[in-house]
Amino acid sequence: MNELITGALFKQMVLHGAAVITAQKQGINDLNVFPVPDGDTGTNMSMTIGAAVAELRKAEPPTLSKAADVTASALLRGARGNSGVILSLLFRGISKGLKGRETADAAAFAAAMQEGVSAAYKAVMKPAEGTVLTVSRLAAKRAAETAAQGVKDLETVLEAALKEGYETLAQTTDMNPVLKKAGVVDAGGKGYLLILEGMLAALRGEPLPEPAEEESVQEKADFAALGLEDITFTFDTVFIVRKTVDKPLEPFREYLNSIGDSLVIGEDDEAFKVHVHTDIPGAALMEAQKYGTLELAKIENMRTQAEDLAAGRQAQSTDDLDAVEEELERGEAPAAPEKPYGFLAVCAGDGLAAVFKDLGADGVVSGGQTMNPSTESILAGVEKIPAETVFILPNNGNIIMAAQQCGVLTEKNVVVIPTKTVPQGITAMMNVDFEAPDAQTITDAMTESLSTVTTAQITYAARDSDFDGFDIKAGDYLALEEGKLFGTDSDLDALLHKLAADAVEREASFISLYFGEDVSESDAQKAGQLFKAACPDAEIAVLSGGQPVYYYIVSME
């Protein structure tokens, strides 16, 4: 029987919760209501709580209040996607409810769970039932009711909360029309309950689940053991890449072996870590970016290190990769304001990034569908812009909430323009008056412009599905328009014809096709000609976006 939660126990509860959801994140991703390859709820929630794990592992919180505060702070900065932000809000409320407490009994912890639900509901503009909000609310309510009946055992209280939570989760299919069409339960609600399951396991004293084995990476060369004659390649190079494309690393491994030695690559679902000795570390890093976003790198000159050691001097090097990570997490000082307004866009693809910069964006954060950047990543972009007011263009509905959290983490004035697509973001930037007398004037102009553009996106079906009257087969091409399924076909040209016909009906005057990384220039130009034939009076632009996931992003105005 466990009647009190201490700081140490709360830490273990969070570690357990993170381990459970990480192990089952793909199952949560697969609960997506569309068959498009954009399921990322499990990944977002896993990475969000993973930020808390990283901080908690560095600390031994002396009180429950401190443990909850460390957790909430890390979750806030690490929040990814709407599900991650809501998870951070749930824990922020728990932290508020436990503030000042060295320990908490069952009643106090249940009350803190309810405080978390309250924080989440307040932050969501239009709370929808049949989501993680519903599941967490009724689970917390049952926990409080159980404790109010005089139950002091925390395990019993959490068991009751989980029982109610899973009963509610089963009902989310009927609560939400979209979930009902797809015949699935809410992914965010499922993820939250998995975290609670892990927390209950910690209360029961169960061992922390073993993580999947990964190939170990030599993070630091043993320079003391090296003589100059032993050094074939000069630079000891270690870096981490967050994956943005799903393709095997074998060609990259072969390339690295061709330019160096001592190669070790450790890989998991989200990222891979590389250690290699090479004379051209820049080339290794450049090639790595074909697979994802470079998160950090450490390059050391082994010849210099060996010479220093031979001369009896202390080798100058970064201690290890963890130290580099900590340094990056601390970040640089915010850029001092040099102008009134700055603009930060979120997008994936070098071509799209170039478009935003050409339109006046001061910075671009890499991210989009399936790779939502964390609040901390967006915040880092905000802090680098030397402006008093920074406008953020999330360009994805699942990134808006993470962007909004930046406002409480910086002294700069942050304005989030609720752009849900890249074309909306581009249109918003085209409507900026850089000499406007105040930020509100810019905000109004950008926001009002969003309704003038229609966005279509073409991707592929990740699985067989019968959705909203469409019989979809894995591998089929899918067209989404304004976030809704527009059409599906095994022939890409046929689908482009349908979109072109839709552009005619909309009387579009300006049509832009941004082609992705898997589309050739020649094929993209053919698609442009197809639209030109259908809309001879419209201005057609074909541009390389370089985006993953979507073959084409089509803007119609």
- What mean pLDDT comes out for the span 516-540? 94
**Contacts by 176-184, CB closer than 8 A, 24 or more apart:** 176/128, 176/129, 176/130, 176/131, 178/33, 179/33, 179/130, 181/33, 181/467, 181/468, 182/33, 182/34, 182/465, 182/467, 184/31, 184/32, 184/33
Taking 60 as the threshold, does the pLDDT of residue 313 lie above it?
A: no
Q: Which whole-number Å values give the CA distances from 89 to 71, 500, 518, in the listed order?
A: 11, 43, 38
Lowest mean pLDDT among 23-37, 92-106, 146-160: 23-37
Q: Using the predicted structure, report yes or no on whether residue 543 has a pLDDT greater than 50.
A: yes
Fold annotation for 454-556: Hypothetical Protein Tm841; Chain: A;domain 3 (3.30.1180)
Give the range with max mean pLDDT: 227-231, 445-449, 463-467: 445-449
Please count the residues of the chain. 557
Q: So what's the pLDDT on residue 281?
A: 79
Position 327 pLDDT exceeds 60: no
Separation of alpha carbons 509 and 556, rounded Å: 8
Domain 223-319: CATH class, spelled out? alpha beta
pLDDT reported for residue 509: 94
What digits encode the pLDDT tens for the residues 42-54? 989 999 999 999 9
Q: Could you please report the per-residue DSSP string of 265-322? A: EEE-SSEEEEEEEES-HHHHHHHHTTTEEEEEEEEEEHHHHHHHHHTTPPP---S-HH
The answer to whether 277 touches 298, Cβ cutoff 8 Å, is no
Q: What is the C-alpha to C-alpha distance for residues 385 and 362, in angstroms, rounded to an integer? A: 7
Greater confidence, 274 or 121?
Answer: 121
The half-sphere exposure of 251 on its side-chain side, counting CA atoms within 13 A, is: 6
Pick from 556, 341, 335, 527: nearest CA to 443: 341
- Name which CATH class applies to 7-203: mainly alpha
> What is the band of 344 on the pLDDT scale with cuts at 50, 70, 90?
very high
pTM for this model (two decimals): 0.72
Give buried/exposed letters for 400-429 (b at 16+ CB in 10 A, else e): bbbbbbbbebeebebbbbbbbbbbbbbbbb
Show the beta-strand stretches assigned E in 332-434: 339-347, 363-366, 387-393, 413-416
Q: Which residues of 300-324 are buried (b: 16+ CB within 10 A; e: fewer)?
A: bbbeebbebbeeeeeeebeeebeeb
**Strand, coil or helix: what is 38?**
coil
80-135 pLDDT per residue, tens: 888 999 999 999 999 999 999 999 999 999 999 999 999 999 887 678 889 999 99
Is pLDDT above 80 for 303? Answer: no
Q: What is the mean pLDDT of residues 162-182?
A: 90
Higher pLDDT, 29 or 113: 113
Of 360, 338, 354, give the one whose Cα is nearest residue 434. 360
Residue 117 belongs to what H/E stretch? helix 106-123
pLDDT at position 220, please?
38
The span from the CA of 530 to the CA of 491, in Å, is 14
DSSP 57-92: HT---SSHHHHHHHHHHHHHHH-BHHHHHHHHHHHH
pLDDT of 179 strictly over 50: yes
Q: Over the stretch 181-215, which tens digit does the pLDDT of each residue have?
A: 778 899 999 999 999 999 999 999 888 776 544 33
The reported pLDDT for the residue numbered 332 is: 57
Q: How far apart are the first and last CA of the chain?
A: 64
Percent of the chain with pLDDT strictly greater than 70: 86
Domains 7-203 and 223-319 fall in the same CATH topology: no
pLDDT at 296: 67
Q: How far is 288 from 188, CA to CA, in rounded Å?
A: 32
Burial status of residue 336 (CB atoms within 10 A of its CB: 0-12, 13-18, 19 or more)? exposed
Which of 188, 254, 167 lies closest to 32, judged by CA?
A: 188
The stretch 455-467 carries a mean pLDDT of 84
> What's the CA gap between 275 and 93, in Å, rounded?
41
Distance of alpha carbon 67 from alpha carbon 261, whole angstroms: 43
Looking at domain 339-452, its CATH class is alpha beta
Give me the pLDDT at residue 246, please.
Answer: 83
In angstroms, the CA 379 to CA 182 distance is: 35
- pLDDT > 80? residue 251: yes
**How far is the C-alpha of 324 from the C-alpha of 317, rounded, in Å?**
11
Which of 124-128, 132-136, 175-179, 229-233 has the weakest average pLDDT? 229-233
| pLDDT confidence bin for 226, thresholds 50/70/90 | very low
The domain locations on the chain are 7-203, 223-319, 339-452, 454-556
Mean pLDDT, the chain, whole residue set: 86
Q: pLDDT class for 522, splitting at 50, 70, 90?
A: very high
Give residues with Cβ within 8 angstroms of 219, minimum separation 6: 238, 275, 298, 320, 321
Top-confidence range, 19-33, 130-144, 323-337: 130-144
pLDDT band at residue 408 using 50, 70 and 90 as cut-offs = confident
Nearest to 541 by CA among 508, 502, 510: 510
433-452 residue pLDDT tens: 999 999 999 999 999 999 99
Q: Hey, what are 131's tokens?
A: 């989501």
Q: Quick one: tokens of 341?
A: 């307004």
